[in-house]
């Protein structure tokens, strides 16, 4: 496990979390 691999993994997780959060907020807004 290299530091670069860990950094890339963390960035990917943050990006995925942001995408899921945005999608969840969009769905909640459309539902109202």
Torsional sign, CA 9, 15, 18, 22: negative
How much is the pLDDT for 5? 97
Cα three-residue angle 1-14-28, rounded to 5 degrees: 150
How much is the pLDDT for 32? 59
DSSP state of 28: H
How much is the pLDDT for 25? 80
**Of how many residues is the chain composed?**
32
The span from the CA of 9 to the CA of 16, in Å, is 11
Torsional sign, CA 17, 23, 27, 28: positive
For the full predicted model, state whether its pTM sits above 0.85.
Answer: no
Q: What is the pLDDT of residues 1-32, one digit of tens each?
A: 799 999 999 999 999 999 999 888 877 777 65
How much is the pLDDT for 29? 72
How much is the pLDDT for 31? 61
């Amino acid at each position: 496990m290299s530091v670069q691999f860990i950094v890339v993994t963390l960035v990917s997780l943050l990006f995925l979390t942001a995408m899921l959060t945005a999608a969840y907020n969009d769905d909640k807004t459309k539902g109202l």
